[in-house]
Amino acid sequence: MDAFWRVPPMLASTVPPAGTFRTGVRYSRIVKIAWSVCRCRKRKLTVAKRSEWTVDERNPRASDPGLAALVPVEEDTRIPWEGGRVLHRWWHGARRGRRMPSRSDFSPRIMGRHLGGMVLHDVSHGEEPDFRVRLAGSDLVDIMNFDPTGLPMCEVPNGAPIIARYRWVVRERRPYMCLDLPLDWANKDYRSYSTLVMPLSDDGERVDMLIAHVHFVPIAPC
């Protein structure tokens, strides 16, 4: 922490000796400049540190149960939040005899006022499927306090259990939902979140994208 508050060399000569006190506009301005430089330095180091974080370091208190939280979703499954119900109805209606619809079948207008909870992931196929955030809705960006668009899921907070569930979707080619998952990684005062994840496919067989809706539950006021 000392490195954050160390006076920059360019300002060192302006710092008064120990036991003395200087007043005046000039010294006040110098103190303000030094404070701004230190804050900027701290911000840069914090951003750099973020890129070095692992999932566990970002969320050491995580209690996401992983695959145990997964609930397979069928056409008659009840989805307990409105945005999820809208996506659920669209997905089953857009299949038209296929295992799953394609990305081109989807229009943002379908979600209306629930668009902020939407997330899209690209799927890359290798020895194990990997995932990258293609688009994150405004609700998720607000909760995380940064935009994860473009990030691989291994660099997203709490990514490991989510990846395990996403790989289930790719393997089974079926949607799932999770209810009341912990939100230790959020930067806002929310208690939990629920999510509905649906597979998309250009050829109706191989999953090449995931579409999801996320519902956040705020902490009740005292």
- More confident site: 138 or 13: 138
- 38-88 pLDDT, tens digit per residue, is 344 333 333 333 333 333 334 434 479 999 999 999 999 999 999 999 999
Q: Is the pLDDT of residue 1 over 80?
A: no
Instruction: Write b or e for each residue in 90-125: b if 16 or more Cβ atoms lie within 10 A of its Cβ, otherwise e.
Output: bbbebeeeeebbbeebbeeebbeebbbbbbbbbbee
222: confidence class by pLDDT, cuts 50, 70, 90: low
186: confidence class by pLDDT, cuts 50, 70, 90: confident
- Sequence ranges of the domains in the chain: 2-50, 63-218
Query: Measured between alpha carbons, how far is 204 from 149 in angstroms, rounded to an integer?
Result: 26
Mean model confidence pLDDT for the chain: 79
Range 63-218 classified under CATH 3.20.20.110 = no
